[in-house]
Amino acid sequence: MEYLNTSRTHQQGVVLIVALIMVIAVTGIAVTLMSSSSIDIKITNAAQEREIADNTLMGEVQKTMATEALRGGNSRFFLTPVEIPLGGVDLALGGKTKSLLINLNTGAHDLQCPRKFSYTAGISCNMMQMNTTIAYGSKSKHTLAVVTGVAQEMVSLNTGS
């Protein structure tokens, strides 16, 4: 039994040092895992904000197109280059998006419409471009844009019809 008592007196705190090293290692692993999980949360939130902005933007584009279609002959898609100011026409319906209408017809002659089945004499196209943008994210520092081309059929003024 004497050999048991002598072994106790010779311990120098090695177990305490090993335990402290293990605590430091486990703490380092825990801090690394918490840091990477907070980055994952930020990435997920950014992706969700982008998806919400994308859906909002596409909805506003479709709403603007439908509103102009319901205006019939008064649709701003019939405006000629002379009737549109240099900066374009603001089509915004309110809300977070901005829509700007620009006429792409240049030159003295009307443009032929892209073919559906065959060309129809006396029908030309008013080519328009609608730029719709939305700002999103914290402090609205990100911008998402959709450029929509519109070819509006109309009677050509250059054919004498």
The pLDDT tens digits of the residues spanning 83-115 come to 888 878 888 777 778 888 888 887 666 666 766
Q: How far is C-alpha 36 from the geometric centre of its chain's CA atoms?
A: 26
pLDDT band at 1 (very low <50, low <70, confident <90, very high): low
Average pLDDT of the chain to the nearest whole number: 81
Strand order, beta sheet including 123-136: 89-90, 97-103, 123-136, 142-155
The reply to whether 1 falls in a domain is no
Distance CA 106, CA 147 (A): 19
Distance CA 66, CA 72 (A): 10
Q: How far is C-alpha 20 from the geometric centre of its chain's CA atoms?
A: 50
The reply to whether 46 falls in a domain is yes
The reply to whether 36 falls in a domain is yes
pLDDT band at 158 (very low <50, low <70, confident <90, very high): low
The reply to whether 161 falls in a domain is no
Distance CA 161, CA 158 (A): 8
pLDDT band at 11 (very low <50, low <70, confident <90, very high): low
Q: Which two tokens stand for residue 86?
A: 């240099």
The reply to whether 3 falls in a domain is no
What's the pLDDT at 6?
Answer: 54
The reply to whether 41 falls in a domain is yes
**Is the four-CA dihedral 115, 119, 123, 124 of positive or negative sign?**
positive
pLDDT band at 161 (very low <50, low <70, confident <90, very high): very low
CA neighbours closer than 13 Å in the CB half-sphere of residue 99: 24
The reply to whether 68 falls in a domain is yes
Q: How far is C-alpha 91 from the geometric centre of its chain's CA atoms?
A: 19
Q: Which two tokens stand for residue 49?
A: 């904000």
CA neighbours closer than 13 Å in the CB half-sphere of residue 5: 2
Domain containing residue 93? 11-155
| Number of structural domains in the chain | 1
How many residues make up the chain in this entry?
161
The pLDDT tens digits of the residues spanning 37-80 come to 888 888 899 999 999 999 999 998 898 889 888 988 888 888 88
- Share above pLDDT 90 across residues of the chain, in percent, rounded to a whole number: 19
Distance CA 96, CA 137 (A): 12
The reply to whether 70 falls in a domain is yes
